[in-house]
Chain A
Amino acid sequence: MTVQAWTFVLVAASFTLYIGVAVWSRASTTGDFYVAGGKVNPVLNGMATAADWMSAASFISMAGLISFMGRDGSVYLMGWTGGYVLLALLLAPYLRKFGKYTVPDFVGDRYYSQVARIVAVLCAIFVSFTYVAGQMRGVGIVFSRFLDVGINQGVLIGMGIVFFYAVLGGMKGITYTQVAQYCVLIFAYLVPAIFISMIVTGHVVPQVGFGAELQDGTGYLLERLDGLSAELGFTQYTSGVKSTLDVFAITAALMVGTAGLPHVIVRFYTVPRVAAARISAGWALVFIALLYTTAPAVAAFARTNLLNTVSNRPYAEMPSWFTNWEDTGLIRFEDKNGDGTIQYVGDPAANELTIDQDIMVLANPEIARLPNWVVGLVAAGGLAAALSTAAGLLLVISTAVAHDLLKKGLNPKITEAQELITARIAAGVAVVIAGYFGIDPPGFVAQVVAFAFGLAASSFFPAIVMGIFSKRMNRAGAIAGMIVGITFTAAYIVYFKFISPDLNTAEHWWFGISPEGAGTIGMLLNFAVAIAVAAFTAPPPEEIQQLVEDIRVPRGAGEAHEMLL
């Protein structure tokens, strides 16, 4: 069978599976819709969290990014996994004990303030939309390259699927669909990685092959890669170009941002007990680590294969994947010196080849000449990653609108049935808006992802951590901290990314910290301002201090949850 036939079969089979799971597990109450009835098994919840978290960016873009950045790509690996330690130790068990449904619920109740709740709702919606637009785009790319349907139709098909199970199933449908999607995506990631590891190094485990010698007897993979890179004028693969402080700041912003993302936090409301919330964060990280430790190995294999395949080879002899990706515009060859040979080198003036980093994972199986079904499998995996994340985000948006804005804000008298309908309508509207961004992406989608992490790091994380670990933290302190943190981070990113992109270089950054790392400064400012303001204003009321006492011990979590549902 051809690549296209395999892709069609595998994608259709996986979609059928998701719809079947969604129908089997549809939601009937708001409890089901928001937190899957609070009854999800911790291992399954870990899997669902992993699928929720690992987006098109993790699946499609990350290994490519590392492939081109080498050592500097480590910030994504550590940043997007280390956050789970913070989540497990500082947030998950306490938020689970608190009960309720959302992050704005916690911020609003703990700081006894409607203003704090609204600030949190707006941040949650903004962060989620930013993210979801990127997912829909990923869906479009996969469809257009492998199924020949055009990016727009691809996005429409993706919207239809997500609409079906997010709107019908709510959190319950999404959780069980995500379990299925995790299985598809991890299988699709590991199969080509194992194949390529065996071809390149002879080791079955990619994490071992990563540090092993090459099959062709030219020494260790990483040394060979350093050598090849140096020869062609690129930075050595295992050395970085970013400053230590900047690497530090970006890693911290990504870690803290991860721990502050509303669609990740909300997962820990779905398990039955506090102990289950703790272990569930552990399982989530196990499932994430499986992909995240494989990714840098894939990146190194892909880089080696790519350099060997294209560098100094005649253009006319390029394999079919090369021309296929040229058709999508994601590979560009410009024969500057007219010799018909591809000069792929570090010097921009002499370099003739531009490769979009997003295609590395998708093109990898073809570059390594793996069987056609593996190529189709990778397409299905990429779609699983994009759809699972999109669904989780849409749920946060619909919950924010129906629960936080309507029920807790505008109209508290609304009945459960009405609230459920509102949540479904909000999810539907959100799907359509997300689809629009997928079809007609504003040029700044990629830029805005730095925003999402920066905002989560500089707003939610400090507010929640202080809400749990300090009984003295009060309304004035938390709100002042969030506003200063967000404003600083947003201003820093907007200034360097949109207002003066020409000044976006190390000598103009504060302390040499790039906009990607701005969330770290924002977070520190948030903490500092909040603590200072709280010291000069009245402590929180007695019942709030009691609430903090209460969320610090696990006993009573299950019972409180039962009553609530």
Chain B
Amino acid sequence: MSDRNAYWRRNLRYVMILLTVWFFVSYGCGILFADTLDGIQIAGFKLGFWFAQQGSIYVFVALIFIYVYLMNRLDRQFDVDEREGGQ
């Protein structure tokens, strides 16, 4: 049981960290600090505008794949992954 708890706590920590990034790029860079970031221009993009219409979406995709990688590793470490052939 304690193993299960440790597994779950690690899972929650990963989720917290990833959701913090999720919040930061969308609500942070895309909305709250967007006006400040708009002062920085890269090519034709104001940076806040770029985060709102492009950047946040790329980060979202990356976050899910990082989560998948972390969780698959965690499943194996705690020996709770789905067994091969048992599907």
**Out of A272, A296, A555, A557, which one reaches B54, CB within 8 Å?**
A296
**B67 adjacent to A77 (CB under 8 Å):** no
Q: Which residues from A are CB-within-8-Å of B86?
A: 558-559
Q: Which residues from B are CB-within-8-Å of A222?
A: 44-46, 49
Most A-side CB within 10 Å, residue of B11, B18, B38, B45: B45
Closest to A224 in B: B44
Q: Which residues from B are CB-within-8-Å of A211?
A: 42-45, 50
Q: Which residues from B are CB-within-8-Å of A85?
A: 18-19, 22, 60, 63-64
Q: How far is the CB of A429 from chain B (nearest CB, A)?
A: 35
Q: How far is the CB of B70 from chain A (nearest CB, A)?
A: 10
**B31 adjacent to A247 (CB under 8 Å):** yes
Interface size on A, residues (CB 8 A): 56
Q: How far is the CB of B43 from chain A (nearest CB, A)?
A: 4
Interface size on B, residues (CB 8 A): 44
Task: Give chain B interface residues in 41-60, CB to chain A under 8 Å.
Answer: 42-46, 49-50, 52-54, 56-58, 60
Closest to A282 in B: B64
Contact status of A282 and B22, CB under 8 A, knowing A223-B44, A553-B4, A559-B86:
no
Q: How far is the CB of B65 from chain A (nearest CB, A)?
A: 5
Tell me if A289 is interfacial: C-beta within 8 Å of chain B: yes
**B60 adjacent to A555 (CB under 8 Å):** no
Tell me if B87 is interfacial: C-beta within 8 Å of chain A: yes
Q: Which residues from A are CB-within-8-Å of B18?
A: 85, 89
Q: Which residues from B are CB-within-8-Å of A549?
A: 4
Query: Mask for A470-493, Cβ within 8 A of B = 1, else 0?
Result: 000000000000000000000000
Where the two chains meet, the residues of B that have a C-beta atom closer than 8 Å to any C-beta of A are 4, 7-8, 11-12, 15, 18-19, 22, 26-27, 30-32, 38, 42-46, 49-50, 52-54, 56-58, 60-61, 63-65, 67-68, 71-72, 75, 80-83, 86-87
Where the two chains meet, the residues of A that have a C-beta atom closer than 8 Å to any C-beta of B are 66, 71, 73-74, 77-78, 81-82, 84-85, 88-90, 93, 207, 210-213, 220-223, 238, 244, 247-248, 251-252, 255, 272-275, 278-279, 281-282, 285-286, 289, 292-293, 296, 469, 549, 552-559, 561-562
